[in-house]
Amino acid sequence: MHRFGLSVALLIALILPTERAAAQSLDEPVTFNSAPYVVGQLQQRMALERGEMVGGSTQAIGGYLSKPAGDGPFAAIVYLHGCAGLSEQTRQRFARMLTGWGYVVLAVDSFGARGLAQACTRPALDRQADAWGAMAYLASVPFVDRTRIGVVGSSQGAMAAMRLASTHDVKIYDVPDDLTFKVAVAYYPRCGVASKWLAVPTLILIGDKDDWTPAQDCQKWMSLRPDKGAPVKLQVYPGAYHSFDTPRPGRSLYGHWLKYDADATERSTAEMHDFLAAHLGKQ
């Protein structure tokens, strides 16, 4: 009982904002455009011949912007939700936690503008385009340091984060060349979606009892990675299931077991805190 009390106290200290870094605003609704695909020379020529505008199509996306008190410029985080959508509980939890650590947060709602309730039983959207659009929006905000923007994702959003951290032979999205994510944190992703080596430092947090995005997939991916690219840290929590950091009773969702684990949540929170501090600290 005494150990549990200490654990809860540590978790509260990590998550809740201090007086010094208290959030100035939480969950301010904003709208931005997803990033368009790069348009090739052939596509440009055909569009011009048809008298059409040259450029990739975009989708208006909603999100929630939160910032710490002060003028900044602050490092920033793009948060990507899972396949069940962006819940109010999740967005507020990440907003309070990350602004308490001194980061601006833009929680992306990839489903609201598209009229989707979930994307667990249908083909996944191009969540990367939404993330790049969110990054471009953050880069235009005066209190954000555009050179220190990272991405944090959960489940399907974590898989998008893994793809964003991956290496690419060609430029896919039409975003400025000087804009790039500096760090990625992936909560229970399917690691096999990523390239063999990554372009930015990445932290992977997953439970060994996860039956939706199995930890074994990430362990196998790690074992096959060549000794090159950015550093990657995989942290597997014994006894933890999918969605271990969401405070709610255990339940089955689309045939998979989701269960809160206080110990894994505490440890993953501390891991993310230190990882972000190391890679998004002031330069």
The predicted-structure confidence for 202-226, as pLDDT tens digits, reads as follows 999 999 999 999 999 999 999 999 8
The residues facing 234 across adjacent strands are: 204
Q: Do residues 210 and 242 make contact, with C-beta atoms less than 8 angstroms apart?
A: yes
Give Cβ neighbours of residue 107 (< 8 Å, ≥ 6 apart): 27, 63, 64, 66, 79, 81, 86, 90, 91, 94, 95
Cα dihedral sign, 163-167-173-174: positive
Q: What is the percent of the chain with per-residue pLDDT over 70, rounded to a whole number? A: 84
Q: Where are the beta strands (DSSP E) in 110-201?
A: 144-154, 184-187
Whether pLDDT at 78 is above 70:
yes
Q: Which domains are present in the chain?
A: 2-280 (3.40.50.1820)
| pLDDT score, position 45 | 53
Q: Do residues 22 and 69 make contact, with C-beta atoms less than 8 angstroms apart?
A: yes
Mean pLDDT, range 79-107, rounded to an integer: 95
Q: How many Cβ atoms from other residues are within 10 Å of residue 174's Cβ?
A: 16
Whether pLDDT at 236 is above 60:
yes
Whether pLDDT at 9 is above 60:
no
| pLDDT score, position 282 | 64
- Of 204, 199, 227, whose CA–CA distance to 215 is shortest? 204
